[in-house]
Amino acid sequence: MDVGAQPVSRLRGFSLSDAAIRRLLLVNAAALVLIVATGATVRLTGSGLGCEHWPGCTPHHFEPKSGHSYIEFGNRVIAFLTILTTLATWIFARGHRRLAALIFFGTLAQAPLGALTVHYHLNPWWVLSHFLLSIVVLTFAVVLASLSRPRAPSTLPRWMPFVGLLVGAAACVLIFSGTLATAAGPHPGSTVVRRLWSFEPAVYWHVRATAVFGISFAFVLAYLVRTKAQQVRGALVLLGLLAVQMTIGEVQYRTHLPWWLVLVHVTVAATVWAAVTSFVFSLWRPRRMP
């Protein structure tokens, strides 16, 4: 049963309306994008060992003592608040409790994963796993938010949702190759972070993954515009985000990867992925327009 099908969700006398639940689900997804940004800040500033212990920064002092430790500890605080948000989502999204539980436990798993990352002195594979787990959990959160919206009958041909899956698969390759490129990149202030692979080959494959995704998405977009399907709005939003992301990527490459611009690129990448997930899901389950 959809979240939207329930008039009210209750917890010991406390209730949320359908509209409040939908807002909570959107906040949940936004928080999971934010944690990607703060995690990338830790990676790009070389602050991963700013707190050499977990959950406190030192064995005897919980609070941070330096710039790097403030960045790392701040990321942990945001992660804690995100866990609380996903817990609230699990409690109130009763129509899809299993999916909401996956989001909560996936977010909760970031805590021991962070402890292992620090324990192994920022091994690049552990660092990489942080981002990829965040992307998986974000995917579930966007799907859950989409499920809360009223459903409309589909006017698309049966083959179109499967083409959408190809677009989603191409986006997966795009995200993974971009993650490798970031992990391989020489970023200022991150000398303590080991690189993963070589930067130029990583960028080579990332650019080609971008081309494959762009071609497949352009085909779907052209069909939606020609048929004036309701999904064209989401497709145009995604197109705008892609244009911004590609511009940022080109500028950061030509300006020798300033860490703050790489951070913007990573954050927008998470936003693009959320938009891709929402768009592909809309091809399978169209939203009833207000």
Per-residue pLDDT of 145-156, as tens digits, reads 999 887 777 788
What are the residue ranges spanned by the domains of the chain?
A: 13-148, 151-290
Sort 240 into a burial class: Cβ within 10 Å, 0-12 / 13-18 / 19+: exposed
Q: CA-CA distance, 219 to 203, in Å (whole number)?
A: 25
Of 81, 98, 79, give the one whose Cα is nearest residue 38. 79
Q: How far apart are CA 162 and CA 169, in angstroms?
A: 11
Q: Which residues contact 136 (CB under 8 A, 6 or more apart)?
A: 106
| Tens-place pLDDT, residues 89-100 | 999 886 788 999
pLDDT tens for 216-270 read: 899 999 999 998 888 899 999 999 999 998 899 889 888 887 888 888 988 999 9
Q: How far apart are CA 271 and CA 269, in angstroms?
A: 5
**27-73, pLDDT tens digit by residue?**
999 999 999 999 888 877 877 666 766 666 766 666 666 677 888 88
Q: How far apart are CA 144 and CA 97, in angstroms?
A: 10
Helices (H), 148-258: 160-184, 199-227, 232-254
> In the CATH scheme, what architecture does the domain 151-290 have?
Up-down Bundle (1.20)
What Rg do the C-alpha atoms of the chain give, in angstroms?
A: 20
Instruction: Please determine, for residue 22, whether its predicted confidence score (pLDDT) is greater than 70.
Output: yes
3-state secondary structure of 287: strand
Measure the CA–CA gap between 284 and 159, rounded to whole angstroms: 10
- Written as one string, the DSSP assignment of 91-112 is HH-GGGHHHHHHHHHHHHTHHH
Q: Which of 285, 288, 246 is nearest to 269 (CA)?
A: 246
Q: Is the pLDDT of residue 189 over 50?
A: no
